[in-house]
Amino acid sequence: MIEVNNKLRELFAQPNSLHARPLTRRIVLGLAFFSLFMVLLSTDFISDKVSLQVGQVSDRDVLAPRSVSYVDQIKTKRLEAEILASVSSVYDFDVTVATKAEESVTSLFRAAKSVAGDKTLTTEEQRVAKLKSTFAFALPDTAVVGLVSLEEADLVKVEEYTKSILRKYYQRGIREDDMDAARKHVVIEAEERGLGKNAEAVDAGVAQALLKPNVVLTRNETEKRKATALGSIEPVRETVKKGQVVVRRGDVVTDEQIHAMEELGLHRGQVSEVRIFGLAIFVLAVMGLTLGYIYKFSPEVFQNDLSLVLLGLILLLTLLLGKVAHIYSNYAAPIAAGALLTAILLNPRLGLFVSIILSLLFGIIAEHELRAVVVALSGCLIGGYGVSKMNHGYSLTRSGIWIAAMNFMMIAATGFLEQISGAQIIVQGFLGVFSGILSAVITIGVLPYLEHSFNVTTPFKLLELASPSHPLLQRLLLDAPGTYHHSILVGNLAETAADMIGADPVVVRVGAYYHDIGKIKRPYFF
């Protein structure tokens, strides 16, 4: 163990290799810790594969492993289709259609009257041929025969009837899809007039031939209205909470359920590249904030690579403990242990900042559960404050009790805010108490190993050295009692002076106790 520690210190103290050069070494350490944080925090991003297809009967319950909010594309498209169907198309009246139709009727009957008065046309076939050559639109043969057969007075009457029918329908407005119905009604109205066979054929045939849509779809305006309607639609968002049943056993799997499983990463056990990218940015930002804070407010830590490694190991160890506890409950996670270790091994101010960093990173493990983050942050802060007063008689045991009390109080407060049942609050509160005590126990257990491995002198080690039962002080008392009493007096005076000027009283007192320790070698000289 001693040999390993010595090699570790040599690695960070002697720039005799490429990896020992300060800049290169820091880059390597930064990449190593970044990779370790990514691996630790992203393991939950890889979900179990669920092989279900649309229409298949599920053979098990599928539970959401985390909370997620996503846009339901299927429901959004369905809503868009409904909105588009409700948007009325825009039509414009084309007044020129009715005018042209009436002019065509006038010219047609004028031609028919001209043919009827032409004495050179002696047969019906000649009159039909002559009449057909005078108009450009197609007419049924029955209508053409009727026109050449009617007397001039009947032609005048039928002309007015035909114009009145056309005016009636054009005033109503005729769309493309109304044409068939309009033509049928024209025939019925012509028959109801009782004009006779030839007159009815002319009336119905001419009106049918000249009926055209005069209500025209305005495509640009219609598309603009549809685009406006679509622009006002908010995408349909669905929220699935952790533990919610996405698919029940025996259900026929639907498109919506498949989509929900894909968003949760369950359908094919895939890793979401977007989530990994977001986590990488988050971890880099947190590491940058931490290094910036250390550079500004703890330069002695920033300049010591061994201290930076110690901080990184504390963060990793704490998050690993939090991840294990997360399997059972977020409130049992001993996150405060990281703040305690940082405050004791490095410095109390850094311990308070690390409380915030640990809470942010634990938020990823806790799947963004705000209550768990609040409880972790409050426990870390009270723990860091507690050990910062260790010089005045505080102990880790007392800090653990303070953390437990704070955890219970914050769990109860946030539980009441979210209107959680009393029984659930009590269970979570006891888990919070367990977390506080466990944080102190872990700190007490790990602290000696980290002290020795990283050669850190903590208040605990100083308090041990200041204890009267320490073997070296006992030897000083036996071999040089006068020097021992002198050292105790100097220690008391020095401690009081250090308190007055804001120095570390424990360091000063211990230094005073041992400042004459060399007199043990030749006590009779003094």
Q: What is the pLDDT of residues 480-496, one digit of tens each?
A: 888 888 888 988 898 88
Q: What DSSP designation does 250 have?
A: T
Is-contact 246 261, C-beta < 8 A? Answer: yes
Q: How confident is the model at residue 8 (pLDDT cuts 50, 70, 90)?
A: low
Dihedral of alpha carbons 516, 518, 523, 526, sign:
negative
Give yes or no for residue 442 having a pLDDT over 90.
yes
Write the CB contacts of 311 (distance below 8 Å, at least 6 apart in sequence).
Answer: 290, 294, 301, 342, 346, 350, 354
Q: What is the pLDDT of residue 270?
A: 54
Give yes or no for residue 345 having a pLDDT over 50.
yes
Q: What is the pLDDT of residue 338?
A: 95
- Digit-coded pLDDT (tens) for 363-372: 999 888 889 9
User: Which single residue is written with the structure tokens 């603009």?
Assistant: 224
Give yes or no for residue 32 having a pLDDT over 90.
yes
Q: What is the pLDDT of residue 10?
A: 57
Closest CA to 264 of 367, 372, 373: 367
Write the CB contacts of 168 (distance below 8 Å, at least 6 apart in sequence).
Answer: none
The arithmetic mean of pLDDT across residues 226-238, rounded, is 76
- Digit-coded pLDDT (tens) for 103-139: 888 887 888 788 777 777 777 788 777 777 777 777 7
In which element (H, E) is residue 69 found?
strand 68-71
- Digit-coded pLDDT (tens) for 419-437: 888 899 999 999 999 999 9
Q: How confident is the model at residue 332 (pLDDT cuts 50, 70, 90)?
A: very high
**228: which 2 tokens?**
């406006």
The C-alpha atoms of residue 228 and residue 218 are separated, in whole angstroms, by 16
Q: What DSSP designation does 304 have?
A: -
The arithmetic mean of pLDDT across residues 364-391, rounded, is 86
- Identity of the amino acid at 326: H
The arithmetic mean of pLDDT across residues 63-74, rounded, is 76
Q: How confident is the model at residue 46 (pLDDT cuts 50, 70, 90)?
A: low
pTM: 0.61
Instruction: Name which residue leads in pLDDT, 367 or 87.
Output: 367
Q: E-assigned strands of 179-272? A: 215-217, 237-240, 245-247
Q: What is the pLDDT of residue 393?
A: 45
User: Which single residue is written with the structure tokens 């201290």?
Assistant: 307
The C-alpha atoms of residue 454 and residue 12 are separated, in whole angstroms, by 11
Q: How confident is the model at residue 19 (pLDDT cuts 50, 70, 90)?
A: very low
- Identity of the amino acid at 384: G
Q: How confident is the model at residue 2 (pLDDT cuts 50, 70, 90)?
A: low
Give yes or no for residue 20 having a pLDDT over 70.
no
Q: What is the pLDDT of residue 385?
A: 85
**Could you give the angle at the alpha carbon of 355 between the alpha carbons of 353 and 358, nearest 5°?**
115
Whole-number average pLDDT of the chain: 82
Q: How confident is the model at residue 14 (pLDDT cuts 50, 70, 90)?
A: very low
Give yes or no for residue 383 having a pLDDT over 80.
yes
Q: What is the pLDDT of residue 174?
A: 80
Intra-chain end-to-end CA distance of the chain, in Å: 40
Instruction: Name which residue leads in pLDDT, 482 or 220.
Output: 482
**Could you give the angle at the alpha carbon of 512 between the alpha carbons of 508 and 514, nearest 5°?**
120
> What number of helices (H) and strands (E) belong to the chain?
23, 6
Phi and psi torsions of 62, nearest 5°: -110, 115
Give yes or no for residue 16 having a pLDDT over 50.
no
Q: What is the pLDDT of residue 91?
A: 66
Residue 420: exposed, middle, or buried by beta-carbon count in 10 A (0-12, 13-18, 19+)? middle
Instruction: Name which residue leads in pLDDT, 50 or 26.
Output: 26
Q: What DSSP designation does 518 have?
A: G
- Identity of the amino acid at 476: L
Write the CB contacts of 33 (distance below 8 Å, at least 6 apart in sequence).
Answer: 287, 312, 316
